[in-house]
A = this chain, B = another copy of it.
Amino acid sequence: MTDTLQQQLIIARKEQILAAAAVVFAAKGFHATTIRDIARQAGIADGTIYNYFGSKTALLTGIFEQMRERVLRQNPLPAPETLDLPAFIRLFIQQPLLALRGDNFALFRIILAELPVNEELRTLYHTQIMQPTLHLAEAYFTAQVAQRGIAPEDARLILRAIAGMVQGLLLQYILGDELLTEQWEQLPELLSGLLLHGLGPDPD
């Protein structure tokens, strides 16, 4: 029992620190943030942070893990088999667009900024997010679109294009595109229509 209490205290302190780090990282960016900033924000001493995290970088990966867990817990993926293709696509688009609402946008920005430059984080993102997601989706997706005459090779590329479309829209959102800010809610519906039917037949 005591043991469990201890561990809960440790977890709570870790979360306190990560929360503080997230706030400051979001406001100033990873590199511009100092350990002191985070300690002040958390209301603790500088050294205390190192009782819970080995380095400044560990705070970043800690935030990443936390975000991943939170997203997965809030939006559990349904088995693709229970969906038809349109529903699958709408979900595939909707999920990340909505998962990052709220605080998570700020965190996504931080992580995005480090991804191109931080090897460890990149690997984490690749193995924890992209690979599982793509792997899960590929099996179902290639089978479905095969019925519509699309080769598996192409299907896998298209899946990446769809994932990319979502990521690219997030990027533009972060960069401050006003139209997207206004119309964000419309996107899932609009995009799944576009992907299913295209821009439509030649008018002639």
Contact = CB atoms under 8 A, between A and B. Distances in A.
Given A122-B176, A167-B171, A177-B130, A194 B161 contact: yes
Interface residues of A, number: 60
Interface in A119-173: 122, 125-126, 130, 145, 147-150, 153-154, 156-158, 160-172
A79 interface: no
Nearest to A148: B200
B148 A160 contact: no
A165 B161 contact: yes
Interface stretch (A41-49, A64-72, A110-118): A110-118
A162 to B, nearest CB: 8
A157 B173 CA distance: 12
Interface of A: 29-32, 85, 109-110, 112-117, 122, 125-126, 130, 145, 147-150, 153-154, 156-158, 160-172, 174-177, 179-180, 183, 186-187, 190-191, 194-201, 203
A171 B164 contact: yes
A160 B187 CA distance: 10
B199 A199 contact: no
